[in-house]
Structure 1
Amino acid sequence: MKNDMLKNILIWAAVALVLMSVFNHFGGNTQNTNTRLDYSQFIDQVREGQISRVNIEGPTIRGVYNNGEAFTTYNPGDPGLMGDLLQNRVTVSSQPPEKQSLLLQIFISWFPMLLLIALWIFFMRSMGGGLGGKGGPMSFGKSKARMLSEDQVKVNFNDVAGADEAKEEVAELVDFLRDPTKYQNLGGQIPRGVLMVGPPGTGKTLLAKAIAGEAKVPFFTISGSDFVEMFVGVGASRVRDMFEQAKAHAPCIIFIDEIDAVGRSRGVGMGGGNDEREQTLNQMLVEMDGFEGHEGIIVIAATNRPDVLDPALLRPGRFDRQVTVGLPDVRGREQILKVHMRKVPVAEDVKPALIARGTPGFSGADLANLVNEAALFAARLGDRMVTQGHFEKAKDKILMGVERRSMVMSEAEKRLTAYHEAGHAIIGYLVPEHDPVYKVSIIPRGRALGVTMYLPEEDSWSYSKRKLESQLSSLYGGRIAEEIIFGSDAVTTGASNDIERATKLARSMVMKWGLSDKLGPLLYEEEEQHGFLGSSSRTTSVSDETAKLIDAEVRRVIDENYKRSERILTEHRDKLDIMAEALMQYETIDAQQIKNIMEGRDPGKPADWTESDLATPSNDSKEGDDSVEAKLDDTFDTSADQDPSAEGHPKHS
């Protein structure tokens, strides 16, 4: 802070000095101690005897009156001046003119301009590194890669958890960078490029840094978007400059994040290719072919969209190896939590294994956010340690959204929401192969008036037909409960999200996953068509007869599970009433209370319930129909063209 203040003071002092020099040079000295006298007046005063002495320096004449007052004038070249002075008894003295070299005269005259130029260069260097330096006005073609020396990279493999297979894949890169002759003596060549593929937040960048940290080599990092500029050829120039820098610091690692920004397939998409991007990609292909394995340069790139990359970029000789960095399993999540818990003071009751089980589908970034939210909860409450309760609150906030206790709900709407959520919970509890019910709440969170949360006992990588049908049944549980209790005319829009998800799930079962006996194990593909301004629509590339059969099968699957849910809730009407009353009283009930109700016992109080947990409305606002329910039992995205097991964690509603 003090250094910045001192720097600013020096800068403004230099500016003031320059302005004063320029003003004095061009404006002249306006404050003279001597009186300026015209030459004609000077001659008249000499002849009148008013001047006692003068000093002549070239054309400049400085003199003194009889009364001691000084004056200055200039000789225009009068040859009779000396005669007039001597005739009128004026004392005359003189000095030889000061001789200055031509270079010194030029320097003195140009000094203010040189000072201005120096000051301009100083400001340019302060803002961007000079004319041709990094970030300067002439640095368009310079690489924007940021280099971290071997001492600056503090990350190692101990900081990377939950990606054991990926670490094994890249371990030999570290070995090669440490001792390349071990492989070269046997004729082996290390991969020139390694492409890391995986969902966002899984630790691809962290793993690349860990490789550099373990090998103790320089680490160049850049984003794919940093290459491409408005001017054609700039990106290619930056690629050349980056590889030249890397060769000067070899052995080293070049890490390109989000390489799909520059490595997309050429000539694909609307409107053809982009000249600048394609030239940049071409230069990258040439550079990766231009260096040999013995140079010790390894290019590591990361992307979560490998399907859009150009095939020439993925061939052997460029990116020889692809490393998949996927979402961690329950054991991996536990290890990641332990890594992030080193940074916060955790209490003895914190169980990382239990938290890991309750966070299926979380990435490393999600788990880091979970630990941070728990620490914020502890700080907000004034606690010195982060407890298991703080982690539970943080998990509920991430999975279900922030509680909106200030929102006012009428008693009738609150009761309808309680029956709706109780219907979801009872169906989820009774149908086979459904994830256990973890928590039910009628406290508004985010856009939802209430939430029913299911928590799997273990990670699932595939889904059976029975499990998917149970999911369908539980989705309709809320709407059916409203219809049974309040009548068909009182059914609300709260089930709109449930209906949408159930329809997508049923269509995927019939069209993608081959779970229909009539249509068989065939893929009936849906094509997405892009329109003007990015609008899109989906069309089914099947015959009209097959389309009718698909619609009939989707209807049959939904009707069967709808009727099953209706039958279950009718048979357990008493439990539906008890669970709704418990929700009206406690607002949130946990798994143990749900189990007590379903086994015919008194539900009791939630384990962490206090009287202060009841909602305390503070305004008269009322949520409209836009607050549709967004329950969190959707553990997979049925709209994705992939297996449901590949989806993220339940926070996606």
Structure 2
Amino acid sequence: MPRQAQHDIAADRDRLRRHRVYRWATVVLALEAWFIVAPFTGRSPWPSLPSTDPLILVPVLFFVVLIVVLLGTQVVAGRSPHLTYRPEQVDVRLADVLGIDPVLEDVRRSIDLFQTHRRFAEQMGGTPRRGLLFEGLPGTGKTMTAKAMAAEAGVPFLFVSATSFQSMYYGATARKIRAYFAALRDAARREGGAIGFIEEIDAIATRRGGLLGSVATTDRGPITSAMISEGTGGVVNELLVQMQSFDQPSRGARLVNRVVAAANLLLPAENQIPQITPVRAPILLIAATNRADSLDPALLRPGRFDRRLTFATPDVHGRRELVQHFLDRRAHEPELGEPAVRDRIAAATSGWTPVMIEHLLDEALVNAVRRGDTRMSYEDVEKARLTEMVGLGQPVTYTEHEQLLIATHEAGHAVAAWLVAPGRTLEVLTIVKRGEALGLLAHSDTEEIYTHTSSELRALVQIAMGGLVAEELFFGDTTTGPASDLAAATRTAAQMVGAAGMTGSLVSFQATGRDLVEAVLADSAAREQVEELLEDARRRVVWLLSRNRHLVEALRDALLERHELVGDEITDVLVEASGTSRRVPSDGDPTTAHVA
């Protein structure tokens, strides 16, 4: 941004600073003059206190204290609950906020418009932005971005949580909102600009209904009927009104205008005294929510929240920056400094927020401490990730037969994935009990993709069948273990049949508004297609595993020995057992599949 673009805010702040210095200098000089002149006139520079009878003073003081307490209760109940951070107190800048690349350009543009508000309005005739709405999952950087914007603009940051506006006293919520916006206007006039931030605004700005409308529910529980009536009749309306009050004159200007208006009543029309024209305070209001669909529509129109920015979970490039940022600040083994390993962590955390990635690495450090080390390893990171995804592992206490069966089941999944899905990375293979899972295979796309082809979805169904088929081949019977695998395979097959048009029919069952799996299985023709997909997947996996029993046995034995294999440990066993690189069948037909 050109240097000229920053003159509005910076010039106003410097001008207001000089005025404050002049005012204080005048007061100090006046006091100094009084203390110098008073002794020459025979007066004491300090005021003398009148003598008062204690019998009169005590009751007077009692009633004064009582009045102060009563009035103070009302004042405290209606005071703004915000916290003010000056620019020098904020230690984060936009360069420190990672993973927000999709909205970063719009954020910078909003700062530029805020900093050049006067030129934009007076010279260009535009209307400066009043508000920004940040929506997105918790932990995606909304609050940090707002703080960074205030620091970049060099103005105070007034932070408030919407829940702190709520009060047990009827009408106090609206008074707190008025007090907050008054504090915003005062800060903007005093500092040349201000940025306000309301966290979780959905707590006070849900859709308005009737006085006896339906009960609203927040993340913190249901809202009481008194809060609803005040919200529908007052709180949301007060918020809407206050968002239009940025150009409201100051208290001093209002007092002067009242005096001028009274004087003008006595003056002829041609001699009227002009009143003080209000000047719009340079304020940018930012609100954050993860439930934007529940907000009152009047808040989202231009003139209130002019821009709606969605903070999505970071893509693989954003996660790679976050992994780099967090790892560089934590003790780790040299292997975690390798770009390929960091790329792998970024790829394995698809859909994770920045806070989740930071917490993952903190948990990895905890794992390092538990094993008596001061630096985390890649294995610590993978164990922490597995804990975040599935839960804490429990000691293996299976019977010998059950342990053998579970190891065979999980090995069947891994071998099927290795054979049919070259585009997936095998991450963790374990027979350690976590929650309800007796064992599991964690695998993900090698590269981050947002759509899947028909062949990729068929491969997912085949991977889900691997455990069932391994039990059949090695034990001649099946257990209840594959129940969750069959549920996952059925959901994938239902998506192919009823939503993606991958089996011939282009009818979408999503259009019914019902649950997709329920709608597909309720239709006889669609159910037959699902059954055919599942059976084809099962037949192909039977063909593959029966010809690669030695791979299943190798992984099974490794699991029985170590209980858990991470990353390359899985593929190393398979490569050693096969004596070659990864086996990739040429297509989905067992008659043409081969060992590479």
Q: Please, what TM-score do these two structures have when normalized by structure 2?
A: 0.72
Letter in 1 for 2:325: V
CA gap of 1:233–1:501, structure 2 versus 1, over 3 A, is: farther
- Corresponding residue for 1:163? 100
Match of 1:304 among 286, 290, 299: 290
Query: Identity, % of aligned pairs?
Result: 31
Q: Distance in 2 between matches of 1:348 and 1:385?
A: 9
Shift of 1:254: 1.5
Letter in 2 for 1:255: F
- Corresponding residue for 1:402? 392
User: Residues 434 and 470 of structure 1 are in contact (CA less than 8 Å); yes or no, is this contact kept in structure 2?
Assistant: no
User: Residues 228 and 276 of structure 1 are in contact (CA less than 8 Å); yes or no, is this contact kept in structure 2?
Assistant: no
Deviations 1:233-273 (A, max 9, x none): 33322222211111111121121222222332333998377
User: Residues 224 and 262 of structure 1 are in contact (CA less than 8 Å); yes or no, is this contact kept in structure 2?
Assistant: yes
User: Residues 114 and 128 of structure 2 are in contact (CA less than 8 Å); yes or no, is this contact kept in structure 1?
Assistant: no
- Corresponding residue for 2:200? 258
User: Residues 499 and 507 of structure 2 are in contact (CA less than 8 Å); yes or no, is this contact kept in structure 1?
Assistant: no
- Corresponding residue for 2:497? 510
Asked if residue 208 in structure 1 is aligned to residue 146 in structure 2, the reply is yes
Q: Distance in 2 between matches of 1:183 and 1:229?
A: 39
Asked if residue 271 in structure 1 is aligned to residue 208 in structure 2, the reply is no
Shift of 1:156: 0.9
Q: SS at the partner of 1:601?
A: helix
- Where do residues 488-567 of structure 1 align in structure 2 (5 Å cutoff)? 488=477, 491-520=478-507, 523-527=510-514, 547-567=523-543
Shift of 1:203: 0.9
Match of 1:601 among 550, 556, 577: 577
| Higher mean C-alpha displacement, 377-386 vs 155-164 | 377-386
Q: SS at the partner of 2:304?
A: coil
Match of 2:127 among 189, 196, 199: 189
**Larger Rg computed on CA atoms:** 1
- Corresponding residue for 1:149? 86
CA gap of 1:550–1:431, structure 2 versus 1, over 3 A, is: same
Match of 2:546 among 547, 570, 583: 570
Which structure would you say has the larger RCO, counting Cα contacts within 8 Å and 6 or more residues apart?
2
Size of the aligned set, in residue pairs, is: 478
Shift of 1:150: 2.3
Shift of 1:347: 4.7
Q: SS at the partner of 1:299?
A: strand
Shift of 1:433: 5.5
- Corresponding residue for 2:25? none
Shift of 1:499: 2.5
CA gap of 1:558–1:264, structure 2 versus 1, over 3 A, is: farther
Letter in 2 for 1:227: F
Q: Distance in 2 between matches of 1:208 and 1:347?
A: 35
Q: SS at the partner of 1:271?
A: coil
CA gap of 1:595–1:196, structure 2 versus 1, over 3 A, is: same
Match of 2:236 among 281, 284, 290: 281
User: Residues 137 and 313 of structure 2 are in contact (CA less than 8 Å); yes or no, is this contact kept in structure 1?
Assistant: yes
User: Residues 90 and 151 of structure 2 are in contact (CA less than 8 Å); yes or no, is this contact kept in structure 1?
Assistant: yes
Q: Distance in 2 between matches of 1:507 and 1:538?
A: 6
CA gap of 1:349–1:426, structure 2 versus 1, over 3 A, is: closer
CA gap of 1:372–1:555, structure 2 versus 1, over 3 A, is: same
- Corresponding residue for 1:417? 406
Q: Distance in 1 between matches of 2:565 and 2:330?
A: 30
- Corresponding residue for 1:238? 176
Match of 1:104 among 43, 53, 68: 53
- Corresponding residue for 1:636? none
Q: Distance in 2 between matches of 1:200 and 1:379?
A: 28
User: Residues 425 and 437 of structure 1 are in contact (CA less than 8 Å); yes or no, is this contact kept in structure 2?
Assistant: yes
Q: Distance in 1 between matches of 2:444 and 2:58?
A: 83
- Where do residues 48-63 of structure 1 align in structure 2 (5 Å cutoff)? none
CA gap of 1:549–1:229, structure 2 versus 1, over 3 A, is: farther
Q: Distance in 1 between matches of 2:291 and 2:57?
A: 64
Q: Distance in 1 between matches of 2:200 and 2:348?
A: 30
CA gap of 1:555–1:602, structure 2 versus 1, over 3 A, is: closer
Letter in 2 for 1:303: T
Q: Distance in 1 between matches of 2:533 and 2:203?
A: 42
Note the residue ranges of structure 2 that are not aligned, 5 or more in a row. Answer: 1-49, 217-227, 248-278, 581-596
Q: SS at the partner of 1:220?
A: strand
Deviations 1:575-608 (A, max 9, x none): 222321221122223454544554563799xxxx
Q: SS at the partner of 1:459?
A: coil
Q: Distance in 2 between matches of 1:145 and 1:105?
A: 42
- Where do residues 461-500 of structure 1 align in structure 2 (5 Å cutoff)? 461-488=450-477, 491-500=478-487
Q: Distance in 1 between matches of 2:153 and 2:536?
A: 60
User: Residues 550 and 577 of structure 2 are in contact (CA less than 8 Å); yes or no, is this contact kept in structure 1?
Assistant: no
Letter in 2 for 1:219: F
Note the residue ranges of structure 1 that are not aligned, 5 or more in a row. Answer: 1-100, 125-129, 529-536, 605-653
Shift of 1:207: 0.8
Q: Distance in 2 between matches of 1:259 and 1:515?
A: 43
- Corresponding residue for 2:426? 437
- Corresponding residue for 2:557? 581
Letter in 2 for 1:394: A
User: Residues 554 and 577 of structure 2 are in contact (CA less than 8 Å); yes or no, is this contact kept in structure 1?
Assistant: no
| Higher mean C-alpha displacement, 361-370 vs 577-586 | 577-586
CA gap of 1:508–1:289, structure 2 versus 1, over 3 A, is: farther
Greater fraction helix: 2
Q: Please, what TM-score do these two structures have when normalized by structure 1?
A: 0.66
Match of 1:361 among 351, 357, 361: 351
| Higher mean C-alpha displacement, 157-166 vs 168-177 | 168-177
Q: Distance in 2 between matches of 1:289 and 1:550?
A: 55
Letter in 2 for 1:222: V
User: Residues 497 and 529 of structure 2 are in contact (CA less than 8 Å); yes or no, is this contact kept in structure 1?
Assistant: yes
Q: SS at the partner of 1:362?
A: coil
User: Residues 160 and 336 of structure 1 are in contact (CA less than 8 Å); yes or no, is this contact kept in structure 2?
Assistant: no
Give the RMSD, CA atoms, in angstroms: 3.4
Shift of 1:368: 0.9
- Corresponding residue for 2:155? 217
CA gap of 1:142–1:367, structure 2 versus 1, over 3 A, is: same
Q: SS at the partner of 1:290?
A: coil
- Corresponding residue for 1:227? 165
User: Residues 432 and 466 of structure 1 are in contact (CA less than 8 Å); yes or no, is this contact kept in structure 2?
Assistant: no
Letter in 2 for 1:325: F
Q: SS at the partner of 2:126?
A: coil
User: Residues 198 and 303 of structure 1 are in contact (CA less than 8 Å); yes or no, is this contact kept in structure 2?
Assistant: yes
Letter in 1 for 2:528: A
- Where do residues 132-147 of structure 1 align in structure 2 (5 Å cutoff)? 138-147=75-84
Q: Distance in 1 between matches of 2:344 and 2:363?
A: 17
CA gap of 1:343–1:566, structure 2 versus 1, over 3 A, is: same
Shift of 1:286: 1.9
User: Residues 596 and 603 of structure 1 are in contact (CA less than 8 Å); yes or no, is this contact kept in structure 2?
Assistant: no
Q: Distance in 1 between matches of 2:174 and 2:412?
A: 61
Deviations 1:53-111 (A, max 9, x none): xxxxxxxxxxxxxxxxxxxxxxxxxxxxxxxxxxxxxxxxxxxxxxxx99515147759
Shift of 1:418: 0.2
CA gap of 1:603–1:376, structure 2 versus 1, over 3 A, is: farther
User: Residues 141 and 241 of structure 1 are in contact (CA less than 8 Å); yes or no, is this contact kept in structure 2?
Assistant: yes
Asked if residue 458 in structure 1 is aligned to residue 447 in structure 2, the reply is yes
